[in-house]
């Protein structure tokens, strides 16, 4: 059978990783694909840069969009990144030219996934995107294929390895966020500008994609509630352990009476649950289906090898003749299911207040919680230092998010409260 010919746009960590993988495992991949897979053309910013891989025999395109027009390219691999610009133009051009597409670009799909799905359906081409979420974990394939007979009620997971690494190091070493972040940047686990990772944006992109696929609706990135981890302190991590929890940055999507909740934020998760023990740069995703119950997927969420593995897995599917709608159903059949705001969340909470140690503070806080009909499960005040700032920590029974936010607003106005209250949602996972 004739080879499947690839055009790769972007030769960074992932693109070079794909070239290296095919060079190392080409025979294995070809046997499983049923035909050889060859890279015939590439495009990147700097043609003279040494990327540690052999590019001989591959045509060079200064403009990535030229890959879409080449007769010797069957599949375009968009490994550039970015939520618009040349990445979007390349994908649009490839689909318009009737070429299949494989992308690792979660931002692109989070912002333009529905439109791309519509264009792919019209052109009759396949769009693979396993590498866009959770690196080497085959979560897209699991949702597209393995769990196709299930109604998904909820999915959640650790979707950003950088944040998970930072929280793990803070817990194990007792270090502050800023110190661990600096170490992570030095080790290459965090970007020079880490905002997308530690601010929750990267996880939000991935969650929006997973929610669309799991619930069969258009991508709605704008409705994802997003919080990051920069306010988490070693004290919070210590108190969490004392209460029987670890802190994880989770993406959670679940179906409820008001629609689909989509939220990314730090969570306290029970030590008895498996996701509490997924540490370091590892990712984990749990999917709850009506027929199979919870299924858990754990693995490396980034890096050349895991991500290239996911990209090539999509290429193998195309070589075998797979042609699936982007979000498992034709774009025209995506259901008009609303997004539910986080204000409707019902659950327990952890609150840490830094207060001036003087009489009446606890009474004032208790009065606010009483007024908002929030019941306290536990309360800790460690140490006495009259006139100075001390932590007051409490956990609540289940209550509505809107009531908690109202209470926090009132607490922040108390004269004795020295800084904005810290709140972390407790998830029974």
DSSP string, 170-227: HHHH---HHHHHHHHHHHTSS-SS-HHHHTSHHHHHHHHHHHHHHHTS---GGG-EE-
Catalytic entry in 173, 206, 248, 373: 206
Looking at the fold, whether 203 and 253 belong to one and the same domain comes out as: yes
Read off the pLDDT of each residue in 113-142 and give the average, rounded to a whole number: 96
Q: Is the pLDDT of residue 152 over 90?
A: yes
Burial tier of 347 (Cβ tally within 10 Å: 0-12, 13-18, 19+): middle
Flag whether 309 is in a domain. Answer: no
What is the tally of structural domains in the chain?
A: 3
Q: Which of 112, 132, 152 is the last residue of a domain?
A: 132
Do 112 and 183 lie in one domain? The reply is: no
Rg, the chain, Cα only: 24
Which residue among 300, 320, 355 closes a domain? 300
82/159 same-domain check:
no
Residues 269 and 168 in one domain: yes
Locate tokens 């009132």: which residue? 410
Does a structural domain hold residue 336? no
Residues 328 and 45 sit within 8 Å (Cβ to Cβ): no
Residue 35, domain extent: 4-132
Residue 334 domain flag: no
Q: Is the same domain home to 165 and 292? A: yes
CATH number at residue 379: 3.30.70.260
CB within 8 A of 150, min separation 6: which ones?
289, 290, 291, 292
252: in domain:
yes
Residue 34 — pLDDT band, cuts 50, 70, 90? very high
pLDDT interval class at 352 (50, 70, 90):
very high
Pair (383, 243) in one structural domain = no
Cβ neighbours for 182, distance < 8 A, ≥ 6 positions apart: none
Q: Residues 294-307: what's their mean pLDDT? A: 91
- What is the distance between the alpha carbons of residues 104 and 311, in angstroms, rounded to a whole number? 7
Separation CA 238–CA 331 (nearest Å):
47
Does one domain contain both 257 and 159? yes
pLDDT, one tens digit per residue, over 188-244 is 888 889 999 999 999 999 999 999 999 999 999 999 999 999 999 999 999 999 999
Domain assignment present for 116: yes
The mean pLDDT value for 281-310 works out to 94
* 206 noted as active-site residue: yes
Residue 175 sits in the same domain as residue 236: yes
Q: Per the domain annotation, does 137 fall within a domain? A: no
Q: Considering 245, 270, 300, which residue would you say is the last residue of a domain?
A: 300
280 and 385 share a domain? no
For 402-428, what is the mean pLDDT? 96
pLDDT level of residue 383 (50, 70, 90 thresholds): low
Q: Is residue 323 part of a domain?
A: no
- Asked, for residue 163, whether it belongs to a domain, the answer is yes
CA separation, residue 79 to residues 18, 32, 325, 401 (Å):
10, 23, 21, 39
Round to whole Å and give the CA distance between 379 and 136: 42
Instruction: Kindly report, residue by residue over 99-112, the tens digit of the pLDDT.
Output: 999 999 999 999 99
Tell whether 213 and 86 lie within a shared domain: no
Give yes or no: residues 274 and 230 share one domain.
yes
147 and 290 assigned to the same domain: yes
Q: Are 390 and 277 in contact (CB under 8 A)?
A: no
Percent of the chain with pLDDT over 90: 90
Q: CATH number of the domain at 245, please.
A: 3.30.360.10
* Measured distance CA(247)–CA(171) in Å, rounded: 9
> Which residues have C-beta within 8 Å of that of residue 264, sequence separation ≥ 6?
159, 200, 203, 204, 207, 224, 225, 226, 227, 249, 250, 251, 252
> Which domain CATH number covers 47?
3.40.50.720
């Amino acid at each position: 059978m004739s080879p499947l010919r690839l055009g790769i746009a972007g030769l960074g960590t992932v693109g070079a990783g794909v070239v290296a993988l095919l060079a190392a495992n080409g025979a294995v991949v070809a046997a499983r694909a049923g035909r050889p897979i060859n890279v015939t053309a590439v495009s990147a910013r700097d043609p003279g840069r040494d990327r540690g891989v052999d590019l001989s025999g591959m045509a060079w395109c200064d403009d990535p969009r030229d890959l879409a027009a080449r007769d010797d390219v069957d599949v375009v691999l968009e490994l550039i990144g970015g939520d618009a610009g040349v990445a979007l133009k390349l994908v649009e051009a490839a689909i318009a030219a009737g070429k299949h597409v494989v992308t690792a670009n979660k931002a692109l799909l989070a912002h333009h996934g529905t439109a791309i799905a519509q264009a792919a359906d019209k052109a009759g081409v396949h769009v693979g995107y396993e590498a866009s979420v959770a690196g080497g974990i085959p979560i897209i394939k699991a949702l597209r294929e393995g769990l196709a007979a299930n109604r998904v009620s909820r999915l959640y997971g650790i979707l950003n390895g950088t944040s998970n690494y930072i929280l793990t190091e803070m817990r194990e070493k007792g270090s502050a966020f800023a110190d661990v972040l600096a170490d992570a940047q030095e080790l290459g686990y965090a970007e020079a500008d880490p905002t997308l990772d530690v601010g929750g944006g990267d996880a939000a992109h991935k969650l929006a994609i997973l929610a669309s696929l799991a619930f069969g609706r258009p991508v709605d990135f704008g409705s994802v509630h997003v919080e990051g981890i920069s306010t988490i302190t070693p004290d919070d991590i210590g108190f969490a352990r004392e209460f029987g929890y670890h802190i994880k940055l989770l993406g959670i999507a679940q179906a409820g009476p008001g629609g689909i909740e989509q939220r990314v934020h730090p969570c306290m998760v029970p030590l008895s649950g498996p996701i509490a023990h997924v540490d370091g740069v590892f990712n984990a995703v749990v999917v709850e289906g009506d027929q199979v119950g919870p299924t858990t997927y754990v693995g490396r969420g980034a890096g050349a090898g895991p991500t290239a593995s996911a990209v090539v897995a999509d290429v193998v599917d195309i070589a075998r003749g797979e042609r699936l709608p982007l979000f498992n159903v034709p774009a025209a059949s995506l259901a008009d299911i609303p997004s539910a705001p986080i204000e409707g969340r019902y659950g327990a909470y952890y609150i840490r207040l830094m207060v001036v140690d003087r009489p009446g503070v606890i009474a004032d806080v208790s009065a606010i919680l009483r007024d908002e009909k929030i019941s306290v499960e536990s309360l800790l005040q460690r140490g006495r230092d009259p006139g100075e700032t001390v932590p007051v920590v409490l956990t609540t029974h289940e209550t509505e998010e809107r009531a908690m936010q109202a209470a926090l607003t009132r607490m922040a106005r108390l004269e004795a409260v020295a800084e904005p209250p810290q709140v972390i949602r407790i998830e029974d996972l």
